[in-house]
Structure 1
Amino acid sequence: MAEPAQRPPRIVAELGRPETPSETAARKAESSRIHRSSQTLRNLVVALVASLAIVLFIVLVVVRPDGATRAPIDYRSVASQSQPTVSQTLAAPKLPSKWTANSASLETGADGIQAWSVGFITPTQQFIGLVQGIDANGSWLSDEVKKARSTGTVTIDGTVWTVYDRRSASDPGNYAYSLSTVIGASTVVLHGGGSTAEFRTLAAAISTQLGRDR
């Protein structure tokens, strides 16, 4: 039986002679290394693209702020429907047209205190929450302002409000600025990130409504 023909040695152009066995082995080893490096880089790119796709999916589909998904609601209508169940007039002031609300509810806490809450979105797209405690006590108020200390008082349309200014804090959240007052048997707390002027607008409207209905 005839033996298979052997491949002639590879001619190295730079040297003008056939490769030696050691040069052939070195060339093949380098070729394998380059191939493995290329595969590793390709795998890293694929993994990175997949990771970015997952993050984008989470941001667009899963993680959405509650406020962004809530449609404006008629808080005055909700207040009217809830009014028969409480002894005090619920704060539902009439506000300028660019003000909206994205939440409104009347709940009774573990302490037995009924609390009316409205989440307002101001004309500058900032949040100001209104919480009205019926026959509330000092402990309830402390909880509603997150145990912040008073930083002064301000009189708005004849009503004195206690100020809790924490705008210089590192992360005050929705309690960067708060106001509280007592009107009749109601303790009213405003809190959020709106401007001082926006807080004054809301506070004045509440004072006008609740003061008129006393």
Structure 2
Amino acid sequence: MSSTEQSPQASPEATPVKPVIPAAAAKRANASVIGMIMALAVSLLAILPVVLLNAAPKSEPRRPVVDVSSIAANAAGVAGFAPVVPSLPDGYSPNYARWSGAGTDGVSHWDIGYLTPAQQFVSVVQTGTANPTWLNAQVKKAPVTGTRNVAGVDWTLYDKPGIEKSLVATVGGTTVVLSGSAAFSELDEVADAVVTSATHR
């Protein structure tokens, strides 16, 4: 390019146009944005206490308070025997205790459920009118696989892979069935407490 040549002038159409907002309009726009932010902040402050109050507890869920002794005392009048009230170490907690009237099997019974220290389950079922049909249902049709002597009582072990194991014995003139997912150490502990309850009344 020679020195006499000049660069082409940019056309008016190619020059960007910057919009000019009047000061009053800009002030109104800023005021609207600030207002929205303040409204949002107020809404969050109003919701926050509700969220905090309803937040999921970090501690273990509360377990029901079950007064086994009182329920057993009420059941004794219709049971025809003294319902056992096992005294268990810390870590065992009852989650139900009830008297169940006779069903189609003709057997009424005392029933307690415990959560063990290892977070397993053990049920204590006691009746004075056991029959083979009822017992077979209680042990979930599991076969006899042995015996265990606990607290001077011979307990028959019913065990089958994939189902709960059961210990069955005659205690205090009644049939007692212990069933659950707990280890033998915990089942034995419950069995010992059942025998103590039945023989010290």
Give the TM interval when normalised to the shorter protein: 0.5 to 0.7
- Pair 1:139 & 2:139 matched: no
Q: Secondary structure at the match of 1:148?
A: coil
Q: Which residue of 1 aligns with 2:182?
A: 194
How far apart, CA to CA, are the structure 2 residues paired with 1:72 and 1:195?
24
Q: Does 1:182 align with 2:176?
A: no
- TM-score relative to the length of structure 1: 0.61
Per-residue Cα deviation, 1:118-137 (whole angstroms, up to 9, x for no partner): 11000111100111122212
Which residue in 2 is equivalent to 1:6? none
For the 8 Å contact 2:97–2:112, the answer to whether it is kept is: yes
SS of alignment partner, residue 200 of structure 2: helix
* Paired residue secondary structure (1:151): strand
Q: Give percent identity, aligned residues only.
A: 34
- Report the equivalent of 2:65: 72
> Does the 8 A contact of 1:135 with 1:185 survive in 2?
no
What is the root-mean-square deviation in Å for CA atoms of aligned residues?
1.7
In structure 2, relative to structure 1, the CA distance for the partners of 1:112 and 1:69 (3 Å cut) is farther
Q: Which residue pairs with 1:15 in the alignment?
A: none
Q: Is the 8 A contact 2:97 2:113 kept in 1?
A: yes
- The answer as to 2:88 corresponding to 1:100 is no
Contact 2:100 2:108 (8 Å CA) reproduced:
yes
What letter is aligned with 1:191? Answer: S
What number of residue pairs does the alignment pair up? 140
Quick one: structure 1 residues 138 and 211, their matched pair in 2 at CA, closer, same or farther if it must change by over 3 Å?
farther
Deviation at 1:209, TM superposition (A): 1.4
- Counterpart among 141, 153, 158 of residue 152 in structure 2: 158
Secondary structure (helix, strand or coil) at the match of 2:189 reads helix
Runs of 4+ aligned structure 1 residues displaced above 6 Å come to none
What TM-score does the superposition give when structure 2 sets the normalisation length?
0.65
The residue aligned with 1:117 is: 111
In 1, Cα distance between equivalents of 2:140 and 2:63 = 25
Q: Using the alignment, how far apart are the partners of 1:190 and 1:93 within structure 2?
A: 12
Instruction: Note if contact 2:122-2:178 (Cα within 8 Å) is conserved in structure 1.
Output: yes
Distance, in Å, in 2 between the alignment partners of 1:179 and 1:134 is 17
Higher fraction of helix: 1
Instruction: Give SS of 2:94's match.
Output: strand
Which of 93, 109, 122 matches 1:128? 122
Alignment-mate amino acid for residue 104 of structure 1: A
CA contact (8 A) 1:93 1:209 kept: yes
How far does residue 211 in structure 1 lie from its aligned partner after superposition?
A: 2.4
Measured after TM superposition, the shift of residue 76 of structure 1 is 1.9
CA distance in 2, matches of 1:126, 1:132: 20
Deviation of the 1:70 alpha carbon: 5.3
| Cα deviation digits, residues 165-208 of structure 1 (max 9, x gap) | 23xx2x32xx1x21000124311101111111100100011111
Q: Which amino acid aligns with 2:146?
A: G
